[in-house]
Amino acid sequence: EDQVTQSPEALRLQEGESSSLNCSYTVSGLRGLFWYRQDPGKGPEFLFTLYSAGEEKEKERLKATLTKKESFLHITAPKPEDSATYLCAVQWNFNKFYFGSGTKLNVKP
């Protein structure tokens, strides 16, 4: 049973073409939902933490939102340097984490 599901698996955008990535989760007792960025050959890099439904966080061209069962990462007017794999993770049972398998974003100039 998948606890965290990300879609789409891959997304190709033209520079400036806005879109959204989805993360749905089934765990109960959510303590936090996280978004990370991972570049090839590197470890994930923290982007956002969301705690409760209705919460939103923004950073440059990225905006993360949270509902009761899913989160969205909105990318506004992306640039080629936004190309990376974006990972969603949930913290539950105080100390444990489930990660999704990621969305690989490719932004073409």
102 lines the binding site for another protein (CB under 8 A): yes
Dist. CA 2–CA 98, nearest whole Å:
9
Find the binder of another protein among 41, 60, 81, 109 (CB under 8 A): 41
Q: Which two tokens stand for residue 12?
A: 């190709």
Helix (H) or strand (E) holding 51: none
**For residues 80-99, which are near another protein according to CB under 8 A?**
87, 89, 91, 95-99
Closest CB to another protein among residues 22, 101: 101
Q: Which amino acid is at 54?
A: G
Part in contact with another protein (CB under 8 A); list of ranges 18-26, 33-41, 57-65, 70-78: 33-41
Contacts of 93 (CB under 8 A, 6+ apart): 29
Part in contact with another protein (CB under 8 A); list of ranges 16-24, 40-48, 55-63, 66-74: 40-48
CA dihedral of 27, 10, 43, 62, whole degrees rounded to 10: -80
How many positions of this chain bind another protein (CB under 8 A)? 24
105 lines the binding site for another protein (CB under 8 A): no
The owner of tokens 């997304």 is: 11
28 lines the binding site for another protein (CB under 8 A): no
